[in-house]
Amino acid sequence: MKKAKMREVNFYAYETYCMVRIEERPEVSTLLAGCRDLALQVEQTLNMYDEESELSVMCRDYRPGQPYEVSALLYDFLDTSLSMAKRSNGAFDPTVGAVVKRWGIGSGEVRIPAEKELAILINRTGYHHIRLLPDKRAAIIDIEGITIDPGAIGKGLAIDYIIHYLKDYHVGQACVDFGGNLYVMGDTYRIGVRGPEDPEKMMAIVPVKDQAVSTSSWYEHYIERDGRVYGHLIDPASGKPVESEFTSVTVICDRAIYADMLSTALYVLGAEKGEAVIRSLREESGICVDYLAGRAGDGKIVSYSDTLK
């Protein structure tokens, strides 16, 4: 089949460069502008570093134990992220925002927190402190000081919104790349997965069609202090950067939001517990997930195909 001529839009969001490419058609400029606007709407709603975003306003203005009504977009984010938090038993937890901000890895203002300070911050975390009221489209948070971090879900959510939008307009071929969070629709692409120890080399090449790809690793943002490397992915249990059995985790899934969340959860959980989460997701929701990971220590590749189980 002859490949269609493609057009694309490029913009900056989520602290990275973003690209949406779709097949040429009469209304292509309007569609690409719509994709960009959707991505920016998600970012503006969920940006925890913007004091005027809806997410930041909620975290500032809610009152413990009282319902707080939110937009459909923010509710969708809360519902999906809390569901994954429960499924992963807190390995993925969006309430670690205050801890993430305090470490500041990737912000240029890093200061390693003391144990006492971490203990105080951890007391203000925990997905179980948030309950949703679907009939009111509201959230109830039962303690003060919760800060919600959308970092491991925002790009995936935006990509899924864009793909749904394009399908509504019967777009057949598209490629979305938000700083390495990918979705390919219509054609098969061969996606290279970088090796964490040597980013110039490919750890693997994976064929992808009508699927999302997301990678989590220490090399995305990190600092070195006294000969030790601290990655930006925080373990919700300790409040410290994750010490994973993996060097990186790449997830392939038909939903970008799950690829985004699971790459983080698997990096925290490791193979055995992570694969149990994948199986439960397939059994309860019908969502299939494949992943490959570089193993710390020997650098060997660990792979898992949920579609074959």
Q: Where are the domains of the chain?
A: 48-141, 189-309
Whole-model pTM? Answer: 0.92
Of residues 265 and 308, which shows the higher confidence score? 265
pLDDT tens, position by position, 127-148? 999 999 999 999 999 999 999 9
Judged against a pLDDT cut of 90, whether residue 56 lies above it is answered with yes
Nearest to 146 by CA among 14, 266, 236: 236
Name the band, by pLDDT with cuts 50, 70 and 90, for residue 26.
very high
Q: List 133's β-bridge partners, or say none.
A: 138
Q: Quick check: 46 pLDDT over 80? A: yes
Question: What is the overall mean pLDDT for the chain?
Answer: 89
What pLDDT, on the 0 to 100 scale, is given for residue 1?
47
CA 235 to chain centre: 15
**What pLDDT digit, counting tens, does each position of 207-263 carry?**
999 999 999 876 565 555 555 555 567 888 888 887 888 888 999 999 999 999 999
Which of 87-96, 130-139, 187-196, 197-206 tops mean pLDDT? 130-139
Across the range 35-63, mean pLDDT stands at 97
Work out the pLDDT band at 308, boundaries 50, 70, 90: low
Percent of the chain scored above 70 by pLDDT? 90
Distance (Å, whole) CA 212 – CA 256: 5
DSSP string, 144-189: S--B---TTTHHHHHHHHHHHHHHHTT---EEEEETTEEEEESS-E
Checking if the pLDDT of 110 tops 90, the result is no
Which whole-number Å values give the CA distances from 269 to 51, 121, 154, 214, 273, in the listed order? 32, 22, 21, 16, 6
Question: What is the Cα–Cα distance from 11 to 199, expressed in whole angstroms?
Answer: 24
What is the rounded distance in angstroms from the CA atom of residue 262 to the CA atom of residue 211?
A: 14
Taking the C-alpha atoms of residue 245 and residue 123, their distance in angstroms, rounded to an integer, is 26
What share of the chain has pLDDT > 90, as a percent?
65
Question: Residue 109: pLDDT above 80?
Answer: no
Please give the CATH topology (third level) of the domain spanning 189-309. Answer: T-fold (3.10.520)
pLDDT digits (tens, 9 = 90+) for 172-189: 999 999 998 999 999 899
- CATH homologous superfamily of 48-141 equals ApbE-like superfamily (1.10.3980.10)
Residue 22 clears pLDDT 70, i.e. is over it = yes
Token pair of 278, please? 């994948």
Report the DSSP beta bridge partners of residue 172.
Answer: none
Please indicate whether residue 270 or residue 221 has the higher confidence score (pLDDT): 270
